[in-house]
C-alpha cells in the first residue's frame, strides 16, 4: 500500500520539471530589485499548493493510482480542487512575471489583454465559459473510454492532468473572487457558480456509487488489488472520495460567498445636525 511505498515510489517526471520552473520564477520574482516580496501569507499558500502538486503527481499517490481507483480519485481531487485553489489564493502571477525581462513581461501582458493570440484565453476566462470547461473536463475524463485510455497511455494521462489543473486554476479564480476576476460575478452568482459545479461532481459520484458493476476495464481486469478489495468496492470508495473530501473546497467557497453576500453594508458616517461644513 501507499504507506509501505512512502520512500521508494517517488517519481521525477515532466510535471516535476514544470513545477521546478514555476518555483524558480517565483523565487526570482521575489528577489527582483526594488520590489516588495508581498504578504508572507501568500508564500504560505504558494508553497502549500506546490506541495499538494508534488504529492499528487510525484509521490506514491501517482504510482498507486494505477492499482486502486480510489487512490486515483484522491489524485483527481487534489488536482481539481486543492492545488489550484491554494495557488490562486497565493496570486503568484505578478511575482512570477517580475522574474522576466521588462520588455518580455510587457509584451506578454499586452498580448493576453489585447492581442489576437490572447483572445482564446480571454474567452476561456469568462466566468460561465470557465464553469462549463471545468465541469466538462471533470465529466468527460470519467467517461470509461477516455478514463481507460488515460490509464493505458502516459501522454493521454498527462493531458488529463494538465486540463484538470488549468481549468481548476481558472475556475477557482472566479469561485474565490481573486483579482482580476473579483468583480466578474456578484456574491449570489458566485455562490450559485460554485454550488452548481459541486453538484456536477455529486452526480458523477452518485453514478459511480450506484452502478452495479465496475465501469472501467483497466481496474476490473487487474488480477489483484492492494488490500484484496473487489473492483466494485474500489469504485464505491472512489465515489465516496469524490462526494465528501471532493466537496470540501467547494463548501468553503460557497460559505464565503454567502457570508460576503449577507454581510451588512458599512454604515455611512453620522452627520451632526447644526454642524457647519468644513
DSSP annotation string for 107-149: HHHHHHHHSSTTHHHHHHTSHHHHHHHHHHHHHHTTSHHHHHH
Whole-number pLDDT of residue 237: 96
Rounded distance between C-alpha atoms, residue 133 and residue 125, angstroms: 10
3-state helix, strand, coil in the chain (%, to 5): 70, 0, 30
Rounded distance between C-alpha atoms, residue 275 and residue 278, angstroms: 9
Whole-number pLDDT of residue 32: 67
Whole-number pLDDT of residue 181: 83
Residue ranges, the chain, pLDDT below 50 = 1-2, 34-36, 271, 274-278
The pTM of the full predicted model, rounded to 2 decimals, is 0.85
Three-state SS annotation for 212-265: CCCCCHHHHCCCCCHHHCCHHHHHHHHHHHHHCHHHHHHHHHHHHHHHHHHCCC
Whole-number pLDDT of residue 272: 53
Rounded distance between C-alpha atoms, residue 64 and residue 169, angstroms: 25
Could you read off the pLDDT of 171-205 as tens digits, one per residue?
A: 999 999 998 888 889 999 999 999 999 999 999 99
- Dig out the grid coordinates for 35 from the structure: 520590489
Whole-number pLDDT of residue 36: 47
Rounded distance between C-alpha atoms, residue 144 and residue 128, angstroms: 26
Amino acid at each position: 500500500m501507499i504507506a509501505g511505498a512512502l520512500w521508494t515510489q517517488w517519481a521525477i517526471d515532466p510535471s516535476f520539471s514544470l513545477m521546478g520552473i514555476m518555483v524558480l520564477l517565483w523565487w526570482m520574482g521575489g528577489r527582483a530589485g526594488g520590489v516588495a516580496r508581498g504578504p508572507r501569507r501568500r508564500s504560505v499558500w504558494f508553497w502549500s499548493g506546490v506541495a499538494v502538486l508534488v504529492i499528487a503527481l510525484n509521490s506514491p499517490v501517482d504510482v498507486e493510482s494505477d492499482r486502486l481507483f480510489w487512490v486515483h480519485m484522491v489524485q483527481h481531487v487534489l488536482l481539481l480542487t486543492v492545488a489550484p485553489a491554494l495557488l490562486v489564493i497565493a496570486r503568484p502571477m505578478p511575482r512570477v512575471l517580475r522574474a522576466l525581462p521588462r520588455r518580455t513581461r510587457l509584451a506578454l501582458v499586452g498580448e493576453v489583454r489585447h492581442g489576437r493570440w490572447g483572445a482564446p484565453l480571454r474567452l476561456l476566462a469568462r466566468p460561465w465559459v470557465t464553469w462549463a470547461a471545468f465541469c466538462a473536463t471533470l465529466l468527460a475524463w470519467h467517461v470509461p473510454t477516455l478514463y481507460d485510455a488515460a490509464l493505458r497511455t502516459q501522454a493521454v494521462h498527462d493531458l488529463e492532468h494538465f486540463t484538470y489543473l488549468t481549468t481548476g486554476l481558472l475556475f477557482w479564480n472566479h469561485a474565490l473572487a481573486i483579482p482580476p476576476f473579483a468583480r466578474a460575478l456578484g456574491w449570489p452568482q458566485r455562490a450559485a457558480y460554485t454550488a452548481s459545479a459541486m453538484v456536477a461532481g455529486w452526480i458523477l459520484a452518485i453514478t459511480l456509487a450506484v452502478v452495479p458493476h465496475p465501469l472501467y476495464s483497466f481496474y476490473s481486469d487487474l488480477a489483484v488489488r492492494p488490500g484484496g478489495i473487489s473492483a466494485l468496492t474500489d469504485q464505491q470508495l472512489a465515489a465516496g472520495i469524490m462526494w465528501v473530501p471532493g466537496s470540501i473546497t467547494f463548501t468553503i467557497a460557497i460559505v464565503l460567498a454567502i457570508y460576503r453576500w449577507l454581510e451588512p453594508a458599512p454604515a455611512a458616517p453620522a452627520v451632526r445636525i447644526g454642524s457647519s461644513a468644513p
